[in-house]
């Protein structure tokens, strides 16, 4: 057992920290750390800065232009980027469809799509959930009929996807569609790559509690998709989807986000005042901050342990589900504490002031203005990526064995 | 970082596990406990000797003094295994705290006198730091030591001295100058004239003593560390204990969660295993998560309790103990509930684990105390 970060890893951490400090544009940093709206162009700009440094695809093997980093390095990279205020690298291309194409994609698909993921020339969105298929994803109903033959072979896709993050910015969607009704529902699902500018696609924004617009409904009305855009075999989409879920399972922990929120909480609690003293010196509030910091530490060490075990070849069972639950609960609690920092100024919420550069009036300042929205928004982490109840079910079944 | 045991560490874990398997069957333990808990020592001298023969008391003694010179990771491994077995012999103070404290802060004469004896299991220590009015605060010291007869005269009372009534030596904090500094650690013979020891059983069937000192004479040679510099030493010593207790509680709650899952898989109602009910599965999942949180911080404490950075050491020890307390309470309470009526009886291991976890939480600072202490370091 060696419970200290190796000197190589320490050196790598310092290198990443220096790079992010020097290269992350100040306006992007201010948006991210101030919980302001981050635009499409911000994500793309940062991704291209990383890619120019050779760090565009941390999780990819070098054979596909990735960094070839191990899980420890990827975790360090993620943590340093997050705490320094970098926007997250969009996972839909890099962590989802990219690895799937590497394993199941045709050589043509790999050559066509992989390089454009790294540079974000393509913005991918994920067409999984449907109004009637959330946790029970296999009950999805969006239909794809195969018609034509030879060069004209194509699918006609009709149905509706929902909770599609950034569909309004995406030019591609990878979607699970039903290609057969035979056998178990899981058996008749296929994975298709669909251009978002196809005729028959319309995108309706869904406003979330914080007034933000990340998620959408996507309607598909007889959308024509070339058969060459099928990934893997027809009716084999469920296997592929499961592979995708099993990929980078420790990344689900959200440790970098937890650390960013914790750091901001302490900064804000040092500035806000109660009875003439910094809020952080208030005994009750300080105990709450201490308690959540202890939980973040447990999350950090739990993750480090799992990464170490995984690298040693131990299969991870239900442990990633625990990381998901803890990471989401910690983020939600930090959101609460951040809002609590604002006291009565949690109430006024001016949407315009969430745009970087806003210089009009606010009730309690731009910083406090963002905190209630953040609290509301962070409730989502326990819901997406498999609700915490689904995760608890997986853990329960694994350890009780019934 | 590498969280896998080395070969030696695995052997150590196996050694203790074998001891537990041979000597700590539930019924055997329960029988011994019934017989022993009402009077000192409150555990088996024969098993104490066995632990010594296994080399466990030599673990934290430096090699130069006949020991193994291992560190907090090995301590963690042993404590976790002892926790899984609910072992009654009090390894912690004599096997971890006293040798580490004397090896790092003791005089040459003290090292010669005590470390060899500790390594063979021939001398037992207890930590007498808390007082009736102090709750868990180590700086609340009313016991006094005044200059007398070329040494010190000790007056006062110490509270809840774990296994005080089977100890040969007490590590006592006494006020030797005005607050806030002015605390000195003394090594006191537990059978010296003027020491009154009243032992009581604890909630988990172990022993603790209320101790009075009425003019007890202590030689200058028995001052541990420097005069008036005892508070940082006491904190250091307790921090070593906190890290070890956190590991013990991980062992206990891990085993208790396993027992609970077994119960859920085998107990049948309504024609099916009760573990097939989602409400109970989710409860078991939360227990597992609580164990892993405690384990993560027990590991962190093992990594940092040796740190020369006092702030880092304190933060790690308090974080680990706070989490051990919180997780321990949660796991104990849930296990009792999920075992149903049987969880309330003395006849099942479940309740014994619950009691030990509760006792660990209330030892040297409960969860609230350590969250507060951690908060002071923010």
User: What's B145's domain CATH number?
Assistant: 2.40.110.10
**What is the rounded distance in angstroms from the CA atom of residue B345 to the CA atom of residue B85?**
19
Partner residue facing B378 (CB), from A1, A266, A304: A266
Which chain B residue has its CA at the smallest distance from A326's CA? B289
Is A322 in CB contact (< 8 Å) with chain B? Answer: yes
Together in a domain, A356 and A267: yes
Q: How many distinct structural domains can be found in chain B?
A: 3
- What sign does the dihedral A111-A114-A117-A122 (CA atoms) show? positive
Q: What is the pLDDT of residues B347-365, one digit of tens each?
A: 999 999 999 999 999 999 9
**What is the rounded distance in angstroms from the CA atom of residue B50 to the CA atom of residue B59?**
14
Distance from CA of B325 to the nearest CA of A (A): 12
Distance (Å) of CA B113 to CA B58, B65, B152, B187, B222:
15, 10, 20, 12, 11
Ramachandran category for residue A159: left, alpha or beta (phi over 0 → left; psi -120 to 50 → alpha) = left
Question: Among all chains, which residue has been given the structure tokens 């396993």?
Answer: B258
User: What's A283's domain CATH number?
Assistant: 1.20.140.10
Query: Is residue A54 exposed (0-12), middle (13-18) or buried (19+ Cβ within 10 Å)?
Result: exposed
Together in a domain, A272 and A355: yes
Domain boundary pick from B123, B156, B182: B123
User: What's A145's domain CATH number?
Assistant: 2.40.110.10
Partner residue facing B378 (CB), from A286, A301, A319: A286
Domain that holds residue A45: 7-89
Together in a domain, B210 and B164: yes
Residue B181: the pLDDT is 82
Together in a domain, A275 and A181: no
Q: How many distinct structural domains can be found in chain A?
A: 3
Distance from CA of B185 to the nearest CA of A (A): 30
Together in a domain, B116 and B175: no
Together in a domain, A233 and A335: no
Together in a domain, A253 and A393: yes
Domain boundary pick from A219, A241, A263: A241
Which chain A residue has its CA at the smallest distance from B76's CA? A1
**What is the rounded distance in angstroms from the CA atom of residue B366 to the CA atom of residue B242?**
11
Which chain A residue has its CA at the smallest distance from B319's CA? A294
Domain that holds residue B284: 231-376
Domain boundary pick from A241, A276, A311: A241
At B149, the pLDDT band (50, 70, 90 cuts) reads: very high
Together in a domain, B184 and B238: no
Instruction: State mean pLDDT over B80-97.
Output: 98
Together in a domain, A294 and A220: no
Distance from CA of A179 to the nearest CA of B (A): 33
Partner residue facing A290 (CB), from B257, B286, B374: B374
Out of A248, A319, A336, A367, the active site residue is A248
Residue A245: the pLDDT is 76
Question: Alpha helix (H) ranges present in chain B?
Answer: 7-23, 26-36, 45-53, 72-85, 91, 98-105, 108-119, 230-266, 278-304, 310-338, 349-361, 367-376
Instruction: State mean pLDDT over B275-286.
Output: 97
Q: Testing the interface with A: which of B1, B263, B282, B323 to mutate, by most A Cβ within 10 A?
A: B1
Together in a domain, B76 and B185: no
Assign B220 to helix, strand or coil.
helix
Q: What is the pLDDT of residues B185-215, one digit of tens each?
A: 999 999 999 999 999 999 999 999 999 999 9
Together in a domain, A234 and A256: no
User: Does A110 fall in a domain?
Assistant: no
- For chain A, the C-alpha Rg in angstroms (whole number) is 22
Together in a domain, A216 and A198: yes
Together in a domain, A202 and A257: no
Please count the residue pairs, one from chain A and one from chain B, whose beta carbons lie less than 8 angstroms apart.
143
* Interchain CB distance below 8 Å, A293 and B6: no
- A contact residues 212-251, partner B, Cβ 8 Å cutoff: none
**What is the rounded distance in angstroms from the CA atom of residue A167 to the CA atom of residue A146?**
25
Assign A194 to helix, strand or coil.
strand
Q: Find chain B residues with C-beta within 8 A of A389's C-beta.
A: 282
Together in a domain, B265 and B324: yes
Helix, strand and coil content of chain A, in percent to the nearest 5, comes to 55, 15, 30
* Interchain CB distance below 8 Å, A322 and B300: no
Query: Is residue A397 exposed (0-12), middle (13-18) or buried (19+ Cβ within 10 Å)?
Result: middle
Together in a domain, B237 and B313: yes
User: Does A109 fall in a domain?
Assistant: no
Together in a domain, A25 and A53: yes
Quick check: A345 and A363 in contact, CB under 8 A? yes
User: What's B274's domain CATH number?
Assistant: 1.20.140.10
Q: Find chain A residues with C-beta within 8 A of B319's C-beta.
A: 293-294, 297-298
**What is the rounded distance in angstroms from the CA atom of residue A52 to the CA atom of residue B84?**
52
Which chain A residue has its CA at the smallest distance from B280's CA? A396
Domain boundary pick from A68, A89, A110: A89
User: Does B2 fall in a domain?
Assistant: no
Domain boundary pick from B228, B254, B288: B228
Over 90: is that where the pLDDT of B37 sits?
A: no
Quick check: A130 and A270 in contact, CB under 8 A? no
Is A319 in CB contact (< 8 Å) with chain B? Answer: yes
Residue A316: the pLDDT is 83
Partner residue facing B281 (CB), from A266, A304, A400: A400
User: What's B30's domain CATH number?
Assistant: 1.10.540.10
User: Does B186 fall in a domain?
Assistant: yes
- A contact residues 257-316, partner B, Cβ 8 Å cutoff: 266, 280, 283, 286-287, 289-291, 293-295, 297-302, 304-305, 308-309, 312
The token duo for B87 is: 């072992």
| A359 contacts: CB under 8 Å, gap ≥ 6 | none
Domain boundary pick from B228, B262, B285: B228
Together in a domain, A381 and A289: yes
Quick check: A118 and A56 in contact, CB under 8 A? yes
pLDDT in tens, chain A (402 residues): 999 999 999 999 999 999 999 999 999 999 999 999 999 999 999 999 999 999 999 999 999 999 999 999 999 999 999 999 999 999 999 999 999 999 999 999 999 999 999 999 999 999 999 999 999 999 999 999 999 999 999 999 999 999 999 999 999 999 999 999 999 999 999 999 999 999 999 999 999 999 999 999 999 999 999 999 999 999 999 999 989 877 767 778 999 999 999 999 999 999 999 999 999 999 999 999 999 999 999 999 999 999 999 999 888 889 999 999 999 999 999 999 999 999 999 999 999 999 999 999 999 999 999 999 999 999 999 999 899 999 999 999 999 987
**What is the rounded distance in angstroms from the CA atom of residue B266 to the CA atom of residue B263?**
5
Distance from CA of B77 to the nearest CA of A (A): 11
Distance (Å) of CA B150 to CA B146, B194, B195:
10, 17, 19
Active site residue A352: no
Together in a domain, B261 and B368: yes
User: Does A313 fall in a domain?
Assistant: yes
Residue B256: the pLDDT is 98
Together in a domain, A237 and A379: no
């Amino acid at each position: 057992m060696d419970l200290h970060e190796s000197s190589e890893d320490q050196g790598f951490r310092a290198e990443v920290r220096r790079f992010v400090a020097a290269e992350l544009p100040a306006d992007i940093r201010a948006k991210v750390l101030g919980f302001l709206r981050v635009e499409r162009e911000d994500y793309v700009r940062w991704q291209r800065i990383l890619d120019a440094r050779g760090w565009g695809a941390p999780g990819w093997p070098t054979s596909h232009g990735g960094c070839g980093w191990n899980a420890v390095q990827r975790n360090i990279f993620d943590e340093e980027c997050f705490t320094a205020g970098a926007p997250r690298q969009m996972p839909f291309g890099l962590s989802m469809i990219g690895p799937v194409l590497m394993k199941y994609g045709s050589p043509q698909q790999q050559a066509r799509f992989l390089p454009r993921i790294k540079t974000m020339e393509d913005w991918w969105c994920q067409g999984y959930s449907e109004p009637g298929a959330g946790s029970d994803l296999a009950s999805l109903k969006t239909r794809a009929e195969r018609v034509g033959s030879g060069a004209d072979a194509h699918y006609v896709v009709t149905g509706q996807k929902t909770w599609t993050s950034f569909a309004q910015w995406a030019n591609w969607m990878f979607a699970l569609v039903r290609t057969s009704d035979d056998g178990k529902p899981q058996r008749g699902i296929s994975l298709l790559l669909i251009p978002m500018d196809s005729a028959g696609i319309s995108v309706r924004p869904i406003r979330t509690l914080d007034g933000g617009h990340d998620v959408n409904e996507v309607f598909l009305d007889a959308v024509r998709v070339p058969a060459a855009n099928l990934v893997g075999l027809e009716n084999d989409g469920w296997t592929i989807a499961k592979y995708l879920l099993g990929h980078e399972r420790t990344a689900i922990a959200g440790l970098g986000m937890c650390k960013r929120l914790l750091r901001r909480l302490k900064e804000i609690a040092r500035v806000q005042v109660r009875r003439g003293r910094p809020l952080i010196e208030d005994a009750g509030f300080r105990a709450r901050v201490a308690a959540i910091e202890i939980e973040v530490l447990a999350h950090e060490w739990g993750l480090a342990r799992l990464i170490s075990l995984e690298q040693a070849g131990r299969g991870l069972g239900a442990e990633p589900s625990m990381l998901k639950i803890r990471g989401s609960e910690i983020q939600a609690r930090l959101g609460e504490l951040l809002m609590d920092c604002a006291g009565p100024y949690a109430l006024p919420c001016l949407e315009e002031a969430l745009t970087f550069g806003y210089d009009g009036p606010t009730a309690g300042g731009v910083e406090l203005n963002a905190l209630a929205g953040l609290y509301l928004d962070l409730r989502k982490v326990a819901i997406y990526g498999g609700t915490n109840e689904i995760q608890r079910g997986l853990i329960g079944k694994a350890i009780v064995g019934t | 970082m590498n969280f896998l045991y080395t070969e030696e560490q695995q052997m150590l874990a196996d050694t203790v596990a074998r001891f537990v398997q041979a000597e700590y069957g539930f019924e055997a333990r329960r029988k011994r406990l019934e017989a022993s808990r009402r009077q000192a020592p409150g555990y088996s001298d024969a098993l104490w000797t066995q632990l010594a023969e296994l080399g466990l008391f030599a673990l934290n003694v430096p090699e130069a003094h006949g020991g193994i010179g291992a560190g907090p990771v090995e301590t963690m491994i042993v404590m976790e295994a002892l926790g899984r077995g609910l072992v009654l012999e009090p390894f912690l103070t004599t096997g971890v705290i006293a040798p580490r404290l004397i090896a790092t802060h003791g005089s040459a004469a003290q090292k010669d006198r005590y470390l060899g004896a500790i390594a063979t299991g021939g001398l037992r220590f207890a930590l007498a730091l808390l007082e009736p009015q102090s709750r868990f605060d180590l700086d609340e010291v009313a016991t006094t030591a005044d200059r007398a007869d070329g040494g010190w005269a000790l007056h006062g009372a110490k509270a809840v001295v774990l296994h005080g009534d089977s100890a040969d030596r007490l590590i006592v904090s006494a006020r030797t100058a005005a607050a806030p500094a002015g605390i000195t650690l003394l090594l006191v013979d537990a059978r010296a004239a003027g020491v009154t020891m009243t032992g009581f059983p604890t909630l988990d069937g172990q022993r603790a003593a209320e101790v009075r000192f009425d003019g007890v004479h202590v030689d200058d040679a028995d001052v541990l560390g420097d005069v008036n510099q005892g508070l940082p030493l006491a904190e250091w010593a307790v921090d070593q204990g906190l890290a070890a207790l956190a590991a013990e509680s991980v062992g206990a709650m891990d085993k208790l969660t396993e027992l609970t899952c077994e119960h859920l898989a085998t107990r049948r109602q309504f024609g099916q295993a009760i573990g097939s009910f989602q409400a109970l599965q989710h409860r078991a999942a939360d227990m597992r998560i609580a164990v892993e949180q405690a384990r993560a911080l027990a590991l962190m404490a093992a990594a940092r309790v040796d740190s020369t950075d006092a702030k880092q050491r304190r933060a790690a020890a308090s974080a680990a103990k706070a989490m051990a307390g919180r997780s321990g309470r949660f796991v104990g309470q849930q296990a009792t509930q999920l075992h149903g009526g049987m969880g309330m009886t003395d006849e099942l291991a479940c309740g014994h684990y619950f009691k030990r976890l509760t006792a660990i939480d209330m030892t040297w600072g409960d969860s609230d105390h350590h969250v507060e202490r951690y908060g002071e370091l923010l």
